[in-house]
Chains A and B, each alone.
Chain A
C-alpha cells in the first residue's frame, strides 16, 4: 500500500470514504423508502413560480443526466470509450459535448440558486439540506469543469486510470496506485462525489431513485380492486 501521504490521507479518502458513502447511500435509501415513502417526491416548486423555473430546471437536468450517464458509460465500458477516442476528431467531439453538458448543468444550477434566493415563495420551501446540496453541487461541477479545461482529455484518462481504480473498489481489492499521483483538482472531484453519494439519501435527490419507467408501457387507466373482489373476478 502507498503510505506517502500523511495520516494515510489517501487511504481514508479513496478507500474508506467510498465504502462508507456507499453503505450510507444504500442503507438510508432503502430504510427511507420502506418507512418514509411519503417523503419521496421531486418537491416540485413549479406551482409557486413558473417562469424562471424553466431556465433552471431544464438545463440543469439535461446537463446532469447526460454527465452522470457519461460517467456510467466510462465506468462500464472503458475499452470502447478508449477505442472511440483513438481518432482525435472523435475525441474532440466527445470532450466538447461533455463540456457543453457540464456548462449546461452549471448554468441551470446557477439559475436554480438565484431563483431560490430571489423569489420569496421559493425561499420558503428551501430546506437546509437543499442549500448544503447546492454547495456540494457547485464544488462538484466547478471542479469537474476545471479538470476538463486544465487536465485535458479526461474521457481518455478517466477510462484508463480512474476506471481501474473504481473497479478495484468494486471488486473489494482497493488499489489507489492509479490515482495517488493525480492533480489535486481531480482528487477534489472524486472526494466530493463520495460526499455527494453519502448525502444523497438525506436530500430531495431520492426522487432520481423513483423515476417512473413503467409509465410508458402501462395501460392508460389504472383501476385498483379490494383484495376480495379481485379473487372473485379471477375465478
Chain B
C-alpha cells in the first residue's frame, strides 16, 4: 500500500443554476491576459450540448485520454515513439476554431461616431489580430440551448440513445437540460502529464494538484491533445501551455479555490482523500463496466488503523489524515456512493466527482391542471426526463447501474424529508424507499444536511498544506516570509 493524499472535489449538479459566477471568478484572477483570453479553466456547459471546445467529449475527433490495447493502456493521441516523428505537427491538436476567437469591442467608436440617424455601435474586434470579426462562437455559445438542433443534437453523449429517446430531447415540453460546470479533474492517471516530452507537467506528491512548470514547458503542445477533458490550454502568445492550478496559492493559505468560493449555487465541495498509488495502473486498465467501482476502491478509509499507519509511514502529515476523516468528498463518493467521476472511460481517473442531476418532475397538462405523471410523489427514476443512458454515458462509462443507484438514493432522501417536514407521505413508505435505495435514516439525514444546509466550512474542508516544511528545508521561514511575494522573478513574456 502506497498511501498518498489528494485534494478532491464534488460538484452537485442539482444545485447548479448556470450563473457562470465560477467562470468569471477564475477568469478575473488567472486568465485575463494576452494569449489566455480564450481559456476558461472553469467553464459551465449546458447538457445536452456541444460544450467547450466544441464536442470535446468525442475522442474519435480529439483523441484524448487513454485507450486499452493489447492488455495495457496507451495514450490515444500519440505514442511515445510517434512523438519523435509527429512533434513538428501534432495530428490530434485542436485549433482555435474548435474553441473560439476571443474578441473585444471597439468602444471608442461609441464616442467618435459622426452624428447620424443611427445609434453608434461598438463593433467586435479580434483579440488576436485586432481586425473586425463576426463573432461566431464563444465559450458558452450553446448556453441553455437544450433541445437545439444545432447544439444539443450534436452532443456526443447522444450516440447510443434510441431514436425515441433522442426525439424526446427535442420535443416541446419534453426537452430538458442541466448544467455541467467543469474544471481540471486533477486526475490520478493524468494523460497530459504522461504526454509531456519535457516532463514539465507533474502531479504534486502531497496534494495531487496537477501543474505545468512554466519554465520547463517548451511548447511542444502534446498535453493539449492528450487531455480528454480539454483542460490544458495553449497560450498562443507566450508559447507555453497552461491549466487550472486549483488555486493552489489560495489552498496553501487555507482558502477555497476561487470558483468554489464564489459558487452561488453552493454546489461545490472540496476535501482530501487518501488513496493507494500502487494500484493506479491496475485500476486504469479495468474493463469499462468495472471502472467506477475500481476507481472508488482506490480511495482508502481514513479511519482504518492500517491505512493511517501506512499513510504516516509514507510521510502523509497527521493533520492531513485528520482532515481526510472529515472530508465531505469521502462521504459523497465512498460512503454514500452518490457522486460519480465524469467520463471514467477516458481512464485518467478524475478526482472531481459529480452528483448526477434528478430531472424535473415529469408532468402533463390535462385541461387546465398540470398533473404529475407518476403515482409516486417524485417521478420514477427509470422514466426520468433526462434519459438514463445519457447520464450513464456521462458518469458511468455507458453503464446505468451506478447512476441509477445514485439517483434512487437521492429520490429516497427527498421522499423521506418530505415525510418529515410536510408529512403528506407516509413515513413507512419513505422508509421502505430508503431501504430499497440502500440508505438508512441517519444517512438520509446526513445527505440532506450536507446537500441543503451546508455551511462554508462544511463544504470546504481544506487540510493544512504544510508549505512551511518545504521552506524550512531551504531557509529560515521568517526570512523567507519577508522576501517573497506574488509576481515573477522572470517576466512571463514570449521569447523572440
Query: Do A and B share a complex?
Result: yes
Q: Is A149 in the interface zone, CB < 8 Å from B?
A: no
CB <8 Å contact, A221 and B194: yes
Q: Is B314 in the interface zone, CB < 8 Å from A?
A: yes
Interface residue from B89, B202, B218, B314 paired with A41 (Cβ < 8 Å): B218
Complex Cα spacing A163 to B5, Å: 59
Q: Is A49 in the interface zone, CB < 8 Å from B?
A: yes
Bitwise, B194-235 to A at CB < 8 A (1) or not (0) is: 101111011111100000001111111100100000000010
CB <8 Å contact, A38 and B203: no
Bitwise, A33-71 to B at CB < 8 A (1) or not (0) is: 001111111111111111001100110111000000000
User: Chain B CB within 10 Å — which of A121, A125, A216, A228 has the most?
Assistant: A228
Give the interface segment out of A154-162, A173-181, A188-196, A203-211: A203-211
Interface residues of A in 105-148 (CB under 8 A from B): 120-121, 123-125, 127, 129-130
| B280 CB, nearest partner CB in chain A, Å | 8
CB <8 Å contact, B189 and A210: no
Interface residue from A48, A204, A221, A225 paired with B128 (Cβ < 8 Å): A48
* Chain A, residue nearest B99 (CB): A47
How many chain-B residues does the 8 Å CB contact rule pick out? Answer: 61
CB <8 Å contact, B95 and A226: no
CB <8 Å contact, A46 and B197: no
Complex Cα spacing A191 to B496, Å: 23
| A234 CB, nearest partner CB in chain B, Å | 10
Complex Cα spacing A121 to B199, Å: 29
User: Chain B CB within 10 Å — which of A210, A225, A226 has the most?
Assistant: A226
CB <8 Å contact, A58 and B88: yes
Complex Cα spacing A57 to B491, Å: 29
Q: Is B240 in the interface zone, CB < 8 Å from A?
A: yes
Number of A-B pairs whose CB atoms are under 8 Å? Answer: 162
Query: Chain B contacts of A40 at CB under 8 A?
Result: 218, 495
Assign chain A's interface to a size class: 35 or more
CB <8 Å contact, A41 and B193: no
Interface residue from A46, A123, A210, A227 paired with B221 (Cβ < 8 Å): A46
Q: Is B467 in the interface zone, CB < 8 Å from A?
A: yes
Bitwise, B453-477 to A at CB < 8 A (1) or not (0) is: 0000000000000110110111000
CB <8 Å contact, A35 and B490: yes
Query: Chain A contacts of B218 at CB under 8 A?
Result: 40-42, 207, 210, 212
Interface SS majority for chain B: loop
Known contacts A36-B490, A124-B129; decide if A47 and B95 are in contact (CB<8 Å): yes
Query: Chain A contacts of B315 at CB under 8 A?
Result: 229, 232-233
| A31 CB, nearest partner CB in chain B, Å | 13
Q: Is B493 in the interface zone, CB < 8 Å from A?
A: yes
Known contacts A47-B95, A227-B474; decide if A207 and B219 are in contact (CB<8 Å): yes
Query: Chain B contacts of A223 at CB under 8 A?
Result: 202-205
Query: Chain A contacts of B239 at CB under 8 A?
Result: 41-44
User: Chain A CB within 10 Å — which of B93, B196, B236, B280 has the most?
Assistant: B236
| A186 CB, nearest partner CB in chain B, Å | 30
Interface residue from A43, A48, A124, A224 paired with B95 (Cβ < 8 Å): A48
Interface residue from A47, A210, A212 paired with B234 (Cβ < 8 Å): A47
| B185 CB, nearest partner CB in chain A, Å | 15
| B201 CB, nearest partner CB in chain A, Å | 7
Complex Cα spacing A49 to B129, Å: 13
Query: Chain A contacts of B271 at CB under 8 A?
Result: none
CB <8 Å contact, B201 and A39: no
CB <8 Å contact, B197 and A47: no
CB <8 Å contact, A120 and B129: yes
Q: Is A87 in the interface zone, CB < 8 Å from B?
A: no
* Chain A, residue nearest B473 (CB): A227
User: Can you report 7 residue pairs joining A to B where beta carbons are below 8 Å apart?
Assistant: A38-B214, A41-B238, A207-B218, A212-B198, A221-B194, A223-B203, A226-B206
Report, nearest first, the 7 A-B pairs whose CB atoms are least far apart. A39-B495, A226-B470, A41-B239, A41-B219, A227-B473, A225-B205, A50-B95
Besides A38-B214, A54-B89, A229-B205, 17 new A-B residue pairs in contact (Cβ under 8 A), listed by A number: A38-B240, A41-B494, A43-B494, A44-B220, A45-B236, A47-B96, A48-B236, A53-B89, A124-B128, A125-B236, A215-B197, A215-B199, A220-B194, A221-B280, A226-B466, A229-B469, A233-B315
